[in-house]
Structure 1
Amino acid sequence: MNASEPLERPVAPFFILTLLAILVAAATSICVGKYRIFPGEILAMFRGSADVPAMTRKVFFTLRLPRTLMAMLAGVGLGFAGSVYQTIFKNPLASPDIIGVAGGANLGAAAAIVAMSALSVPAIAVGAFTGGFAAVAGVMLLVRATRSHSTSTYVLAGIVINALSRAMIMALKYFADPENELAVMEYWEMGTFGNITRAKLLAVLPMFAAGLAGLILLRRQIDLMGLSEDECRAMGVRLKPTRIAVLILSTLLVASIVSVTGLVAFAGLIAPHTARLMLRRNNSTTLCMSGATGAFIVLAADILARVLYSAELPISILTTVIGVPLLLYFMCIGRERLL
């Protein structure tokens, strides 16, 4: 190791501190909101006490607990996916929309709202999920048409798909009903956890778990893909099928989240950088820390979204406010410290 390179830090203390921060944020998230739940009431419910008001039980189990769990899952998934993208594309600015997942999901949701006149949340979720996978399929087709499988080709294909998605979204907005459909489209683009219920959480959980488990199983190959292509092949990694499998799993992970929450900006970009800054390494351990860091960031943003204003703020406003100062800091410390 070069003497100028930062030494790797011990992992356990940072994981413990991050997990404690997540627990505190989760407890706070359950308690705050228009209907206040006190910590004593939560403890009483877990003890089986009959003194807790029925409304408190309903709010806790039907709304507040699913919302908190979904915010944690969203942070884990976006942090995980962001770390994967930044590793395999060797690009510190890569995030879940680098291959068009976010743009495709946004287009799918907009199409469900306008073309199908579907203002129901399930229809929007199905449209978003379909759009995310369609975007990845478009990226794959573009890469195959160029007969090049370098990381830069995937990035450029993602930029093309994102640009195309944005153009189609603008067209849909032009034809949307400004009183109903346009407002829903705009709000969905900014993201929210306010409409999360237990049914929605359980609906996306299998897809989320499949994507996360697949990426964990491929963690060694993902680590090796951070090396040059020649080094990857020398280590026995089959680049083309492995990269496709990782992209599909990452898309499954991200699409399962944004299909019910809307777009959550910056979380998948800043969580991996924060994890690498803490651990000073870039491997499967950092992958897990990226997920944990993402969970805390999204939980904190969701709490602020409920307490800063009388009406609930969209989640992407808060994640952007949190993310921009961190990105400025990362710019100041330099690229070589990020990867």
Structure 2
Amino acid sequence: MKNKLINLFIFLSPFILIILTLFIGRYPIPLKNIISVLIDPLLNNQSSLPEPFYTIVWHIRMPRAIVAALVGASLAVSGAAFQGLFRNPLVNSGLLGVSSGAGFGAALAIILFNQSSFFVYIFAFLFGGLAVLLSYFIGRIYKTTPTIMLVLGGVVVSSIFSSLISFVKYVADPYNQLPAITFWLMGSFASARYKELIIAGVPMIVGICGLILTRWRINVLSMGDREAQTLGINPSFDKGIIITFATLATAGAVCISGTIGWVGLIIPHVGRMLVGNDNKVLIPISCALGASFMVIIDNIARTLTSGEVPIGILTALIGGPFFIYILKKTKGGAW
């Protein structure tokens, strides 16, 4: 009973945090006006409250909070899926090069289309998917998909796209384009609005739902290819399905938020500390934990200083020490 209550709280926490986030920021909204700000637009009621209250809550903070939750959920659930699929506790959501590919696509779009946000999202998504596709085909060099070959393919493709990012930064205009590329690569939700939410939200939701629906197959594949075949699973086909869903989720997240590290690595480990290694439970728990974590980090990023701290900096500063704590507490037993 206690475990069910804990799991229920974990699943509800992203929604609670999103609501609380609407009233956190440098523009104060009195607590007594919270209900009116949330309810009046839904009921088409006339209110005497200042118009900026509604604009800030519904058009700035609301889409940003939803995007942060979706990005956190996408990165965490992809990391958990890859860790189970590759049977490696050090794997994260960017293993197959999606982050490096998306970074190159965004940098290229910033140079070619004068920092147009629409083309940045599209190019980041397409090149993130291309990077994973290249990694997968490299992994099938022997017409199979052994785990080690997929990992090596991801390392090679990540290295190539990282070099291409460096080249694009080298040729970029140092006064306008280079700062834009640099800040995009650090990660931020500052530009998140409903239009961007629709563009990036669809692949994230499809990827998350796909991984949740196929999570039992990850348990089978984690036993090894021979065992999976014995149980009637086609390892190559099912690996391709899981990688596709994880790529959709991660590419959708990266194209709207930039490169954010550590989430896909540490959140699944936290989930294992709570529910164990069974992916049928771990995948949904990681999804909820990732969403909550990213909403909290985004609140810290936009309130910590007079400016906005890039998300990627905070996740690295928090994720590194926290991962050390996990290793010390579990002595490697979380895996």
TM-score w.r.t. the length of structure 2 is 0.93
> Does the residue aligned with 1:337 lie in a helix, a strand or coil?
coil
Change (3 A) 1:119 1:299: same
- SS of the counterpart of 1:109? helix
**Cα separation, 2, equivalents of 1:331 and 1:27:** 33
Quote the residue 2:64 is aligned against. 67
* CA distances 1:186-233 after superposition (whole Å, capped 9, x unpaired): 111111011100111122222222222222221221121111222111
In the alignment, the residues of structure 2 paired with residue 254 and residue 231 of structure 1 have an alpha-carbon distance, to the nearest angstrom, of 28
- Superposed, which structure 2 residues align to 1:97-112 within 5 Å? 97-112=94-109
2:272 equivalent in structure 1: 276
Give me the whole-angstrom Cα distance separating, in 2, the residues matched to 1:98 and 1:60.
36
Q: 1:113 aligns with which of 82, 86, 110?
A: 110
Report 1:78-227 matches (<5 A).
78-114=75-111, 116-227=112-223
Question: Does the aligned pair in 2 maintain the 1:92–1:335 contact within 8 Å?
Answer: no
Q: CA deviation at 1:41?
A: 2.6
Residue aligned with 1:131, SS: helix
Mapped contact 1:30–1:37 kept (Cα < 8 A)? no
* Residue 266 of structure 1, CA deviation: 0.8
- Contact 1:78-1:267 at 8 Å conserved across structures: yes
**Residues 26-60 of structure 1: CA deviation (Å, up to 9, x unaligned):** 23321122322334333113342512211111111
Q: In the alignment, is the contact (CA less than 8 A) between 2:73 and 2:286 conserved in 1?
A: yes
CA distance in 2, matches of 1:108, 1:24: 35
**Most deviating of 69-78 and 138-147:** 138-147
Q: Which residue of 1 aligns with 2:289?
A: 293
Aligned partner of 2:150: which letter? Y
Structure 1: state its 5+ residue gaps.
Answer: 1-8
| Counterpart-to-counterpart distance in 1, 2:327 and 2:146 | 26
- What CA deviation, in whole Å up to 9, does each residue of 1:74-133 have, x standing for no partner? 11111110100000011111111101111111111111112x143121111111001101
- For structure 1, which segment, 146-155 or 181-190, has the greater mean C-alpha deviation from structure 2 after superposition? 146-155
| Deviation by residue 1:157-196 (Cα, 9 ceiling, x = unmatched) | 1000111111111111110111111101111111101110
Instruction: Give the aligned residue type for 1:259.
Output: C
AA partner of residue 140 (structure 2): R
Q: Are the counterparts in 1 of residues 188 and 257 from structure 2 also a CA contact under 8 Å?
A: yes
**Residue identity in the other structure for 2:205:** A
Residue 42 (str. 1) matches residue 34 (str. 2):
yes
| Aligned twin of 1:243 | 239
* TM-superposed deviation, 1:23: 4.1
Indicate conservation of the 8 Å contact 1:99/1:159, yes or no: yes
Residue of structure 2 in register with 1:338 after alignment: 334
What amino acid is the match of 2:68?
A: A
SS of residue paired to 1:31:
coil
Partner residue, 2:18: 26
* Cross-structure match for 2:316: 320
The reply on whether 1:51 has 2:48 as its aligned counterpart is yes
Q: Which residue type is aligned with residue 40 of structure 1? A: K
In structure 2, what is the Cα distance between the partners aligned to 1:134 and 1:291? 25
Which SS does the other structure have where 1:263 is aligned? coil
- The alpha-carbon deviation at position 335 of structure 1 amounts to 6.7
| Aligned sequence identity (%) | 28
1:222-266 per-residue CA deviation (whole Å, 9 max, x = no partner) reads 121111222111111100011011111111111111111111111
CA RMSD of aligned residues (A): 1.8
**C-alpha distance in structure 2 between counterparts of 1:27 and 1:209, whole Å:** 20
TM-score, normalised to structure 1's length?
A: 0.92
